[in-house]
Chains A and B, each alone.
Chain A
Amino acid sequence: MSSYIDRVRSRARDNPNVWLVPAVIALGLLYPFIEDGMRNLPLIGDFMPTTGTLVVMIAFTMMAVGLNIVVGYCGLLDLGYVAFYAVGAYTAGWLASQHFEQIKFHLGSSVSNEQVGIHVTMWLVLIVAGLLTMLAGIVIGLPTLRLRGDYLAIVTLGFGEIIPQVVRNGDSFGGFNLTNGTFGIAPIDPVGFPLLSAVGLPDNFQASDNRERWYYIVAFLLLLLTVFCSVRLRDSRLGRAWIAIREDETAAAAMGVPLMRTKTWAYALGALFGGIAGAYYASFKSGAFPADFYFNISVFLLCMVILGGMGSIWGVTVGGMILAYLNFDGLSTIGSKIQDAGLNFDPTKYQFGIYGIIIVLMMLFRPAGLIPERRHKIEFEEGVHDTPFYDVQTEGALTDRDPSDD
């Protein structure tokens, strides 16, 4: 125990920001309980997001963190990430709604046993959605990842368009209603703890006395998990291989990195988080609709990654929260302030113009993003001078470098 405290102390000395992460986590967990107080603050109070907005912000930030694995780590430009969001959301629709009214199947779900359709508990749905999206990532990845750079971007763009179209027209696959077409699938079952209701946890978030708060806390924990996995992956053998591919594909292959497999893993794991976020968000808003999966979502997510700093997890998390905040709350709040001031200007009408300006300004003044990826120093050694390879004085005698005395 004391050695653990010592370790924390020494880390705190090396990096004074080490307290920042626990502080943000604590604030995050507390936020729904101090929300009213925050929203009543003078001046900035109006700009504080509601807990409900935060759930949406977190869902999109999770997707951005997933996309960061593909674009930031591995350097594969993916313009069709929205496809994974769609797969996740529709998995939730299939496994936790009344959509398949031919069947009646319940498994630990929060809804009444009377309802027709498949009703699997959302916890399991989140896992299945993640795995299914991973599979979709592999299926899309295998044929496309042989392409490089711009070509890959165009093909992913195509897939990003295909999946929403399939969803939109999927109400009759040979007579079988898979996606319910333009109407989408709704309602989707809520998240809940039906088995733990005895200890005071709500068995159904939607019907509980504070729906937003419960959804928010679970979303926040999911985001933490996503960030955690993302950090661990980055610092692993696989993460190094991704970054090596981003830096120089040919050299990476020559160093023994299997290109296809490694890239496909980037795609699959990036997709995984998008799928989980998609399924969770679908449960929060209780529906999956084809209109949610437009191309602009892909661009929006890519903007988050670029704004935050490609490859930087903390950057992407912050960038994602900022852009999602502006999109779902901030711009309209700013707009109403402008209206109050007597100007007739509504920034929500120009949202993509505003994001565009933000990105252009970022590229001009901070091209590496808000929090640039710091290729972390593994060792805190001073790189002053190296033992010279040869000794100038003694006419080219190799300096005596014995590996054992290092």
Chain B
Amino acid sequence: MSVADNLLVATKVRKEFGGLLASDDIDFTIPRGAIVALIGPNGAGKTTFFNQLTGVYKPTSGSIVFDGTEVSYLPPHAITALGIGRTFQNIRLFSQMTALENVLVGMHCRLHSGILGAIVRTRRVKREEAEARDRARELLSYCGLKRRHSERAGGLPYGDQRRLEVARALATDPKLLLLDEPTAGMNPQESADFTAFVRRVRDEKDLAVLLIEHDMKVVMGVSERITVLEYGAKIAEGSPAEIQADERVIEAYLGKGAAA
């Protein structure tokens, strides 16, 4: 596979928190249009790695190239503008805002109206706002929140909040969607539906997906390639079948001797 086919290339990404090595020279690639999963025991450094991709943390060393641009030293909003959208492990919606407004905030970097435009409310600004609202409504319906537009995000049921997070991330118009434990707290039924939804988003929105997930059913069902982290280091990478057979992975999850 040539380099141009990869949407994201991370090379020797290293993150140290004092003496703690959270990312140990991780090499990682995401091909265009792929669904890739990052798994590992709790504390393996999955979310830390995620946060480096989105600019929340700066890597201690190494490089992250997204779509031809080095992003490892950019602030989060600039990375979002380049096309990485994300959700959060513990839901972080703007709870006092309506569902629609949450999605509109997601469009922030795709809209252009400035301060004077906001005060005078020129025709251009009005049109942009109207179009943004229409798109936001479409996205909410797409994610299954058809009649929740004007409800307070914080008052939505848990499942809907998860969906709203995805809708908000999609509103940033991403080329790569990062989902941090999207099915946490869902029952098996909901997880299965979510898996189908992720695949559908990938196909229809033409983007790549990276997910962190603990639910192996989801991981094995949806991902085309899986990367396994343990103690900040990459211990395995491959197709779901390969990962299921990998001794080091089984050892990491179940302990020594379990593979035998």
Contact = CB atoms under 8 A, between A and B. Distances in A.
B118 A240 contact: no
A236 B92 contact: no
Contact of A254 (B54, B119, B152): B54
Q: Which of B98, B129, B168 has the most CB of A within 10 A?
A: B98
Contacts of B144: 386-389, 399, 401
B141 A401 contact: yes
A251 B88 contact: yes
Contact of B147 (A229, A251, A265, A382): A382
Given A232-B119, A253-B76, A387 B146 contact: yes
Nearest to A252: B105
B119 A383 contact: no
A255 B109 CA distance: 8
Interface residues of B, number: 65
A131 to B, nearest CB: 13
A222 to B, nearest CB: 15
B6 to A, nearest CB: 23
Contacts of B86: 254
Contact of A257 (B108, B151, B160): B108
B111 A385 contact: no
B106 to A, nearest CB: 5
Contacts of B159: 389
B230 interface: no
B115 A233 contact: yes
A184 B130 CA distance: 51
A228 B121 CA distance: 12
Given A247-B96, A254-B76, A269-B115, A378 B150 contact: yes
Interface string A332-359: 0000000000000000000000000000
Interface stretch (B21-29, B186-194, B206-214, B221-229): B186-194
A239 B105 CA distance: 10
Interface in B103-142: 104-106, 108-111, 113-115, 117-119, 121, 125, 129, 133, 137-139, 141-142
A375 B96 CA distance: 7
B105 A241 contact: yes
A386 B190 contact: no
Contact of A258 (B75, B97, B142, B163): B75
Contact of A379 (B93, B129, B149, B196): B149
A380 B104 CA distance: 17
Nearest to B157: A386
A113 interface: no
A396 B190 CA distance: 8
Contact of B106 (A255, A258, A384): A255
B148 interface: yes
Contacts of A228: 119
A256 interface: yes
A399 B109 CA distance: 32
A61 B76 CA distance: 37
Contacts of B55: 253
A379 B168 contact: no
Contacts of B137: 406
Contact of B193 (A255, A381, A386, A389): A389
A13 interface: no
A243 interface: yes
Contacts of A253: 55-56, 75-77, 80
A233 B118 contact: yes
Nearest to A392: B189
A236 B96 CA distance: 16
Contacts of B78: 258
Given A232-B121, A240-B108, A377-B150, A401 B142 contact: yes
A375 B101 CA distance: 10
Query: From DSSP, what is the main secondary structure of chain B's interface residues?
Result: helix
B98 A375 contact: yes
A362 interface: no
B149 A256 contact: no
Contact of B141 (A239, A243, A377, A406): A406
B95 interface: yes
B236 interface: no
A254 B80 contact: yes
A252 B86 CA distance: 11
A243 B119 contact: no
B36 interface: no
A381 B76 CA distance: 34
Contacts of B160: 386
Contacts of B72: none
Central interface residue in A235, A241, A383, by most chain B CB within 10 Å: A383
Nearest to A405: B141
B108 A256 contact: yes
A181 B141 CA distance: 63
B203 to A, nearest CB: 13
Contacts of A403: 138-139, 141-142
B35 interface: no
A313 B259 CA distance: 65
A238 interface: yes
B145 interface: yes
Given A256-B81, A269-B115, A375-B152, A244 B98 contact: no
Interface in A46-65: none
B108 A384 contact: no
B106 A256 contact: yes
Contact of A243 (B92, B93, B94): B94
21 contacts: A232-B119, A236-B113, A236-B119, A239-B118, A240-B97, A240-B108, A253-B56, A253-B75, A254-B88, A255-B80, A255-B168, A256-B108, A257-B77, A378-B98, A378-B101, A389-B190, A390-B192, A392-B189, A401-B141, A403-B139, A406-B138
Interface of B: 54-56, 75-78, 80-81, 86, 88, 92-98, 100-101, 104-106, 108-111, 113-115, 117-119, 121, 125, 129, 133, 137-139, 141-142, 144-152, 159-160, 163, 168-169, 171-172, 189-190, 192-193, 196-197, 200
